[in-house]
């Protein structure tokens, strides 16, 4: 079987699904190849952070997720006693949303199918190559060989990415040093609080409700069993024993729905692009799931790449635009590498010195500005992209180039983010004296409107009002390319 398409996406995890949606929204033909015959049922990622919710909101999808998840106003950094205060975040979503990854994937797959993505399950890619004509992926579906050819291919095929391996992209980092157990279980003894976190010389215990009113996620880093290989199955007894020793009491876990073990192996792809091949999500970066970031950062990768790839395939942007994907996202992968390694160091030192270090840093986190700095990092709200990708026609307000544009109400009562639902660039003329037209690499929508003053503006909204730009050119992923002075 031979077939052609615009873009081949390998892997229908949250990252591949979101990327496929973005490409299809822009009108491209997209084939999404997934080795599993059925969607994943295990909960995996539970925390969806503020910037990811905003991202979904930029396409009008946030309500579907909000109505199925549960907001949680705090987060953790290395399981330190002082929690990250997400309620201080300057966003319409000042929390993390507890929603199982299985549900996130279900909602994204529904959207992908509605948009017309060609989702092919039971399709394992084992070979990818590129030439002057395009990029190609071969594999098997239902015992039959297939080959798809396209202009570009995205490897969203997870930690053991075949696409990355085939492309020969280095994936250097740090070997696994510690393994941690987890179980989605029912507790027969009541918890003293809705969630629980405990760290002592016996290890680390975290218990959070899964949100279905029945199950809890137990995470147990047992100091006596940290060397158990990641592939060794977890038993309920092993999980319960570790939890009991760390907690000093027994919450009687039972009826395990999912038991697993994960490691702190940390790696980062040397390049996110090789010619026509791109990496996103776990295919590009793996780490200890500390702070709940892997899926979130991966979905931001997809959101950065999708509109760029679409603009180039449609002939609206030069190929060079695609280099900005690596340039913008690779430094954030490097930061993810550092912050998860730092958290791992905090999470795996159980002697008196390690516990003293934890207490000191936990003390620092009681300072609101320190707490906010880490909350911005973990929530994804703190990122910006610096330089403009297009040429401004007039002087700009430099501090706004590459900066996240907050949701704003327009003078007619409409929503600014609502103008980005179709994934186009937005040229927002805010004053009469703004140029009537600008150039940008992609589909452009031009709207003349004013921002509505309101007494309860957040800090970034108030800052934008005070800056008073004549016009804003906003990228499809919700960052300002520039603001005209």
Ligand X SMILES: Cc1cc2nc3c(=O)[nH]c(=O)nc-3n(C[C@H](O)[C@H](O)[C@H](O)COP(=O)(O)OP(=O)(O)OC[C@H]3O[C@@H](n4cnc5c(N)ncnc54)[C@H](O)[C@@H]3O)c2cc1C
For residue 164, the minimal CB distance to ligand X (Å) is 10
8 A C-beta contact, residue 18 and residue 9: no
For residue 314, the minimal CB distance to ligand X (Å) is 25
Number of residues near ligand X (by CB under 6 A): 33
8 A C-beta contact, residue 343 and residue 400: no
The smaller minimum CB distance to ligand X, of residues 5 and 101, is found at: 101
Which tokens in the block code for residue 157?
């095929």
Among 154, 182, 221, 223, binds ligand X (CB under 6 A): 182
Among 124, 140, 316, 446, binds ligand X (CB under 6 A): 124
Strand spans (E) along 282-412: 285-286
Stretch that binds ligand X, among 42-50, 267-275, 339-347, 430-438 (CB under 6 A): 42-50
Q: Report the C-alpha gap between 264 and 262 in whole angstroms.
A: 7
Stretch that binds ligand X, among 59-67, 86-94, 150-158, 335-343 (CB under 6 A): 150-158
Among 13, 69, 78, 94, binds ligand X (CB under 6 A): 13
Which candidate, 109, 113, 163, 168, places its Cα nearest to that of 139? 163
Distances (CA, A) of 219 to 182, 198, 199, 244, 264: 4, 10, 12, 12, 14
Among 33, 220, 290, 346, binds ligand X (CB under 6 A): 33
The smaller minimum CB distance to ligand X, of residues 57 and 158, is found at: 158
Strand spans (E) along 132-248: 134-141, 144-150, 152-155, 171-174, 179-187, 196-200, 203-209, 216-222
Binding mask of the shown chain, residues 84 to 123, with x at each position contacting ligand X by CB under 6 A:
-----------------x----------------------
8 A C-beta contact, residue 357 and residue 273: no
Among 6, 7, 9, 14, binds ligand X (CB under 6 A): 14
The smaller minimum CB distance to ligand X, of residues 303 and 425, is found at: 303
Q: Report the C-alpha gap between 359 and 80 in whole angstroms.
A: 8
For residue 21, the minimal CB distance to ligand X (Å) is 13
8 A C-beta contact, residue 403 and residue 442: no
User: Count of CB atoms within 10 A of residue 79's CB?
Assistant: 21
Establish if 12 lies at the interface with ligand X (CB under 6 A): yes
| Binding to ligand X, residues 280-319 (CB under 6 A) | 281-282, 289, 292-296, 298
The smaller minimum CB distance to ligand X, of residues 211 and 392, is found at: 211
| Binding to ligand X, residues 239-278 (CB under 6 A) | 262
Among 25, 99, 162, 322, binds ligand X (CB under 6 A): 162
CA 105 to chain centre: 13
The smaller minimum CB distance to ligand X, of residues 157 and 424, is found at: 157
For residue 485, the minimal CB distance to ligand X (Å) is 37
Establish if 380 lies at the interface with ligand X (CB under 6 A): no
Q: Report the C-alpha gap between 356 and 360 in whole angstroms.
A: 6
Helix, strand, coil % in the chain, rounded to nearest 5: 30, 30, 40
The smaller minimum CB distance to ligand X, of residues 295 and 396, is found at: 295
Among 50, 84, 125, 408, binds ligand X (CB under 6 A): 125
8 A C-beta contact, residue 122 and residue 141: yes
For residue 296, the minimal CB distance to ligand X (Å) is 4
8 A C-beta contact, residue 321 and residue 388: no
Q: Report the C-alpha gap between 35 and 126 in whole angstroms.
A: 10
Establish if 15 lies at the interface with ligand X (CB under 6 A): yes
Binding site for ligand X (CB under 6 A): 10-16, 33-36, 44-47, 101, 124-125, 156-158, 162, 182, 262, 281-282, 289, 292-296, 298
């Amino acid at each position: 079987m031979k077939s052609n398409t615009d873009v081949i996406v390998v892997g229908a995890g949250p990252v591949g699904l979101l990327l496929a949606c973005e490409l299809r929204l822009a009108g491209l033909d997209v084939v999404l190849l997934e080795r599993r015959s059925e969607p994943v049922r295990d909960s995996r990622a539970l925390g969806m952070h503020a910037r990811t919710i905003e991202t979904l909101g930029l396409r009008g999808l946030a309500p579907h997720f909000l109505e199925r998840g549960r907001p949680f106003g705090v987060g953790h950094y290395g399981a330190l006693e002082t929690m990250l205060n997400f309620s201080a975040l300057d966003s319409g979503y000042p929390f993390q949303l507890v929603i199982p990854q299985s549900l996130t994937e279900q909602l994204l797959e529904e959207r992908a199918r509605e948009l017309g993505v060609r989702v092919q399950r039971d399709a394992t890619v084992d070979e990818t190559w590129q030439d002057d004509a395009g990029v190609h992926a071969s594999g098997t579906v239902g015992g039959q060989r297939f080959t798809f050819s396209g202009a570009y291919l995205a490897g969203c095929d997870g930690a053991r990415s075949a696409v990355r391996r085939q492309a020969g992209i280095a994936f250097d980092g740090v070997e696994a040093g510690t393994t941690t157990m987890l179980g989605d279980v029912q507790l027969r003894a009541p918890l003293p609080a809705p969630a629980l976190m405990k760290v002592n010389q016996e290890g680390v215990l975290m218990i959070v409700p899964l949100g279905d009113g029945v199950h809890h996620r137990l995470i147990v880093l047992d100091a006596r069993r940290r060397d158990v290989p990641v592939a060794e199955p977890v038993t309920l007894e092993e999980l319960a024993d570790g939890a009991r020793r760390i907690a000093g009491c027994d919450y009687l876990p039972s009826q395990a729905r999912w038991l697993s073990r994960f490691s702190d192996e940390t790696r980062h792809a040397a390049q996110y692009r090789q010619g026509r091949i791109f990496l996103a999500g776990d295919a590009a970066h793996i780490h200890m799931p500390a702070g709940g970031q892997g899926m979130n950062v991966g979905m931001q990768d997809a959101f950065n790449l999708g509109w760029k790839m679409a603009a180039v395939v449609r002939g609206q942007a030069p190929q060079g635009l695609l280099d900005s994907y690596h340039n913008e996202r690779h430094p954030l992968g490097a930061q993810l590498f550092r912050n998860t390694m730092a958290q791992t160091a905090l999470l795996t030192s159980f002697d008196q010195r390690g516990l003293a270090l934890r207490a000191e840093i936990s003390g620092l986190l009681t300072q609101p500005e320190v707490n906010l700095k880490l909350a911005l990092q973990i929530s994804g709200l703190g990122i910006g992209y610096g330089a403009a990708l297009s040429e401004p026609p007039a002087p700009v307000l430099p501090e706004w180039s590459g900066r996240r544009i907050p949701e704003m109400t327009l003078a007619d009562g409409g929503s600014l983010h609502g103008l980005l639902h179709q994934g186009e660039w937005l040229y927002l003329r805010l004053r009469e004296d703004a140029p009537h037209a600008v150039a940008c690499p992609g589909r452009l929508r031009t709207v003349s409107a004013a921002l509505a003053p309101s007494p309860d503006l957040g800090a970034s909204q108030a800052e934008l009002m005070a800056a008073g730009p004549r016009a804003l050119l906003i990228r499809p992923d919700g960052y300002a390319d520039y603001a005209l002075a």
